[in-house]
């Protein structure tokens, strides 16, 4: 029992001593009241941007996708660029079997040759027919002229009684019939010439149509080597070598590297920090770009939420597809704000005590914060622009209201 009493007394004495030491420490008895210049660090109150952000990560992606369709029903002959490959504008990605198109081109060329020969024959026939028609017409005109001359002679003979009136009437009738025959011939000749012109026009139309089809087939032949319409990255190729593809079927899906967007991700615990339309800063090779949050994926994967960022300068030269970047989601920001560098003691709370240098002493002041940012804190009251604050080296003086500064 005696040993237990001794231990209890010793324990009580120890506690009393500790309490006395603590009271003496917090009373400030052992704290010095002066500081030497150079034994502490300072910061200056100034004006500038105060910004509070939440960090997220992102990857650069193409803002636009390009879909390349199959130009014709064919078979994939060769794939020169695999998904994930970078391609330049005009580079061949897929080769399609062009044998069917080539056969159609040869057939069209043969048809055109036949029709052009027929056109030449038609034109020659038209020239020959025109000559024949003109000749026959001229012969009939000469015959009429001859009959009219004969009629004049017979009229003179009738006056002297050289011929009978019946002979004169017969010649007059022959002239009438010859003139009717000439008129009918002229009309028929006109119809025939129109027919020949129509035949030529029809052949010319057929030739032009076939030439257009041939031109389209030749253009299609050039498209059987499917090329990249712009520089980009191949995302997907629908099909493999030997597989059939139909006309206008999606053959290649690729990204267009003319403009970019970001796909960002953030820890689930910060989900309430992201909202559509919220401003962000994106750091790309030490340069800061502005953007806005777009669509937000409601599903959580690997304890992260994904969202899109649309950049103000979506075609910035430093943006590269699949590039990893840091995203700063703006929670609060204020320009030309009275501010002070953020210190570890400023992590929580809106009010703090700091020591401000005033001549040869440092005076404690209570300051009120506004925005507590990543690098700076906004000062609402307690400090002025240009005030010098002791930032480090005064932990032992925190219970004092004023510290003497010795040179």
Rounded to an integer, the average pLDDT of 365-369 is 87
What is the per-residue pLDDT for 21? 56
Mean pLDDT, the chain, integer? 83
What is the mean pLDDT of the segment spanning 1-25? 60
Could you read off the pLDDT of 39-48 as tens digits, one per residue?
A: 778 889 999 9
- The interaxial angle of helices 165-223 and 99-159, nearest 10 deg, is 170
Q: pLDDT tier at 28 (50, 70, 90 boundaries)?
A: very low
Q: Compute the average pLDDT of residues 96-118.
A: 90
Q: Which helix (H) or strand (E) holds 140?
A: helix 99-159
Matching residue, tokens 């109150």? 45
Q: Which residue has the higher pLDDT, 20 or 405?
A: 405
Cα gap 273→292, rounded to integer Å: 13
HEC assignment per residue over 80-137: CCCCCCEECCCCEEEEECCHHHHHHHHHHHHHHHHHHHHHHHHHHHHHHHHHHHHHHH
Cα–Cα separations (whole angstroms), residue 159 to 148, 155, 164, 168, 277? 17, 6, 10, 11, 119
- The answer to whether 295 and 88 are in contact (CB under 8 A) is no
Question: Are the C-beta atoms of 79 and 241 separated by less than 8 Å?
Answer: yes
Is the model's pTM score more than 0.85?
A: no
């Amino acid at each position: 029992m005696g040993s237990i009493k001794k231990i209890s007394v010793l324990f009580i004495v120890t506690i009393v001593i500790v309490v006395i030491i603590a009271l003496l420490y917090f009373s400030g008895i052992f704290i010095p009241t002066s500081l030497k210049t150079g034994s502490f660090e300072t910061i200056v109150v100034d004006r500038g941007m105060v910004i509070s952000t939440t960090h997220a990560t992102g990857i650069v992606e193409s803002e636009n996708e390009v879909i390349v369709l199959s130009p014709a029903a064919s078979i994939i002959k060769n794939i020169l660029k695999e998904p994930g490959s970078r391609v330049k504008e005009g580079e061949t990605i897929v080769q399609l079997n062009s044998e069917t198109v080539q056969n159609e081109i040869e057939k069209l060329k043969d048809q055109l040759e036949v029709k052009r020969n027929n056109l030449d024959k038609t034109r020659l026939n038209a020239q020959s027919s025109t000559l024949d028609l003109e000749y026959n017409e001229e012969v009939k005109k000469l015959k009429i002229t001859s009959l009219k001359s004969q009629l004049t002679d017979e009229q003179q003979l009738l006056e002297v009684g050289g011929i009978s009136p019946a002979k004169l009437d017969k010649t007059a009738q022959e002239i009438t019939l010859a003139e009717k025959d000439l008129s009918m011939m002229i009309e028929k000749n006109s119809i025939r010439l129109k027919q020949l012109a129509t035949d030529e026009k029809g052949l010319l139309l057929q030739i032009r149509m076939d030439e257009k089809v041939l031109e389209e087939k030749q253009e299609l032949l050039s498209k059987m080597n499917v090329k990249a319409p712009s520089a980009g990255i191949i995302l997907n190729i629908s099909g493999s070598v030997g597989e059939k593809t139909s006309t206008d079927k999606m053959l290649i899906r690729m990204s267009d590297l003319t403009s970019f967007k970001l796909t960002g991700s953030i820890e689930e615990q910060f989900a309430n920090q992201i909202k559509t339309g919220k401003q962000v800063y994106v750091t790309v090779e030490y340069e800061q770009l502005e953007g806005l949050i777009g669509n937000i994926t409601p599903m959580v994967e690997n304890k992260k939420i994904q969202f899109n960022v649309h950049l103000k300068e979506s075609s910035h030269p430093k943006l590269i597809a699949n590039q990893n970047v840091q995203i700063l989601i703006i929670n609060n920001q204020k320009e030309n704000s009275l501010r002070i560098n953020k210190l570890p003691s400023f992590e929580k709370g809106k009010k703090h005590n700091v020591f401000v240098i005033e001549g040869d002493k440092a005076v404690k002041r209570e300051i009120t914060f506004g925005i507590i940012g990543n690098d700076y804190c906004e000062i609402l009251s307690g400090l002025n622009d240009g005030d010098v604050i002791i930032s480090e080296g005064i932990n032992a003086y925190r219970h004092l209201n004023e510290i003497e500064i010795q040179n």
